[in-house]
Amino acid sequence: MFTKEMFGFLFKVITSWQIIVVTVVLVIYFSLVSYVARLYHRPRRMDFSFSTKQKKEKLQTVQLPETSADDDLGL
């Protein structure tokens, strides 16, 4: 008898209009947040045209500005 009453009570609570409205609002909110996150998400750049060796060579060819010998700080 207790379980019948409990299931009846849970069924009435779950099917009440407040629970249904809150559930629908939450679904709309999460779908809107997901849409905005996808809209502003930057896709990853998948550039496989350069091999690792070519990337290392490119990094080595970058020259840093040279400092003069008469620099006061000697940096």
pLDDT, one tens digit per residue, over 16-59 is 999 999 999 999 999 999 999 988 877 766 656 556 666 667 66
Q: pLDDT (tens digit, 9 = 90+) per residue, 58-72?
A: 666 655 566 666 666
68 occurs within a structural domain:
no
Residues 6+ apart with CB under 8 A from 13: 19
The number of distinct structural domains making up the chain is 1
60 occurs within a structural domain:
no
Residues 6+ apart with CB under 8 A from 71: none
Range of the domain at 21: 16-40
8 occurs within a structural domain:
no
Q: What share of the chain is helix, strand, coil (3-state, %, to 5)?
A: 65, 0, 35
Please, is 67 exposed, middle or buried when counting C-beta atoms within 10 Å of its C-beta (0-12, 13-18, 19+)?
Answer: exposed
> pTM of the prediction?
0.49
